[in-house]
C-alpha cells in the first residue's frame, strides 16, 4: 500500500504538495498579503514615531512637524502624565450633560442633567478589566476642551478648540441619544463640569472649600 502511494506521488503531472502559510497561496494573493502586511508595518511605525515625538522633549523635528503630530495624536492618543506630577490633582471633576429633544409630536423637551462621569465610574467599579473608553474617553475629552479654551469657554487655540468641541459634542450625543424612543431626536446638547475639592484628611489642619462649582458650556446644535 505504501509503495502504491509513493508511485502515485512520483507519477508525471501529479500536483505537488501545497506549501503551508502564505507560500501556499497563488501569486496574486501572495502579492496582496505582502502589501497588506507592509501597510500594517508602516502604519505601526508611523504611529509609534508620532507618539514618540509627542511625548519627547521639544526638538527640531517635533517643532517642524508639529501640525502632523498634533493631527495624529489628538484627541484619541493624547498622553497624560499628571499622575507623576509633583502636585497631583486634588479635585474631583464630574462631567454632566443634558439635551433638548424633539419628540415624535414635535414638542421640544429638555432633559435633566446626567452625570456621565458617575456612569463611567459605575462601569469601572468592581470590574477587574474595565474598558479604556470607560476610563479615559470622557475625562480626556474634557481635559482636551479646557486645555484649548479659557475660563470663559472662548477658544485660545482655534483648530484644537474646534476639534475638542466636536469631540465632546459627539460623546454627549451618542450617550444621550442611546435608547431614545422611535421618532425622538436630539436637537442640541449642553455640558457642564461639577468641580469639588477633595477634603483634607482628618489629621490635617488645612481648611478646604468642598462646595461644588459648576462650569457650564453653551448649547451646541447637533
Q: Contact, 113 vs 190, CB < 8 A?
A: no
- The span from the CA of 83 to the CA of 132, in Å, is 17
Which candidate, 196, 218, 222, places its Cα nearest to that of 209? 196
Predicted confidence (pLDDT) at residue 80 exceeds the cutoff of 60: yes
User: What's the mean pLDDT when you consider all of the chain?
Assistant: 85
Which pTM does this prediction carry?
0.63
Under DSSP, the state recorded for 135 is I
Number of neighbouring beta carbons within 10 Å of residue 191: 25
Predicted confidence (pLDDT) at residue 190 exceeds the cutoff of 70: yes
132: confidence class by pLDDT, cuts 50, 70, 90? confident
Amino acid at each position: 500500500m505504501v509503495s502504491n502511494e509513493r508511485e502515485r506521488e512520483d507519477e508525471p503531472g501529479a500536483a505537488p504538495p501545497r506549501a503551508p502559510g502564505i507560500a501556499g497561496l497563488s501569486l496574486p494573493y501572495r502579492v496582496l498579503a505582502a502589501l497588506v502586511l507592509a501597510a500594517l508595518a508602516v502604519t505601526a511605525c508611523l504611529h509609534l514615531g508620532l507618539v514618540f515625538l509627542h511625548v519627547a522633549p521639544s526638538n527640531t523635528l517635533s517643532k517642524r512637524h508639529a501640525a502632523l503630530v498634533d493631527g495624529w495624536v489628538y484627541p484619541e492618543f493624547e498622553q497624560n502624565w499628571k499622575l507623576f506630577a509633583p502636585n497631583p490633582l486634588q479635585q474631583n471633576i464630574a462631567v454632566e450633560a443634558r439635551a433638548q429633544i424633539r419628540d415624535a409630536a414635535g414638542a421640544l423637551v429638555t432633559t435633566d442633567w446626567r452625570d456621565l462621569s458617575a456612569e463611567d465610574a459605575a462601569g469601572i467599579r468592581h470590574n477587574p478589566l474595565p474598558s479604556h473608553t470607560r476610563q479615559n474617553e470622557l475625562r480626556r475629552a474634557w481635559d482636551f476642551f479646557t486645555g484649548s479654551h479659557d475660563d470663559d469657554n472662548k477658544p485660545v487655540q482655534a483648530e484644537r478648540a474646534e476639534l475638542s468641541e466636536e469631540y465632546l459634542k459627539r460623546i454627549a450625543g451618542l450617550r444621550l441619544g442611546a435608547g431614545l424612543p422611535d421618532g425622538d431626536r436630539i436637537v442640541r446638547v449642553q455640558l457642564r463640569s461639577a468641580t469639588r475639592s477633595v477634603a483634607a484628611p482628618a489629621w490635617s489642619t488645612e481648611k478646604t472649600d468642598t462646595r461644588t462649582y459648576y462650569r457650564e458650556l453653551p448649547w451646541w446644535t447637533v
